[in-house]
Amino acid sequence: MKNKLEKMLKFPCLFTYKVIGLAQPELIDRIIKVIQCKLPGDYIPQIKSSNKGNYLSISITICANNFKQIESLYHELNNINIVRMVL
């Protein structure tokens, strides 16, 4: 799958991550902090709450210069302990 996605993208490109995590106040700040470390800039996340309010879905778009950046951020976002899934 990696090769397929990598071949589809032309760099630099916009790439959106959808991060699902526990609905805790620090979730959004931690996601942005991880992204800021790799790609400094202004980010405006789109946030949706689950029906019961236990989880948040955060969509955030970056401008990636290469596939390694996309892959690296994917792994780093997954390593946040209150994140449950990164799409």
What CATH number does the domain containing 25 carry? Answer: 3.30.70.260
Q: How far apart are CA 6 and CA 60, in angstroms?
A: 19
Q: How far apart are CA 18 and CA 46, in angstroms?
A: 9
Q: What residues pair up with 58 in beta bridges, in sequence order?
A: 19, 47
- What domain range includes position 24? 2-86
Tell me what percent of the residues of the chain surpass a pLDDT of 90: 86
| pTM of the predicted protein model | 0.89
pLDDT at residue number 2:
59
pLDDT, tens only, 52-69? 999 999 999 999 999 999
Overall domain count for the chain:
1
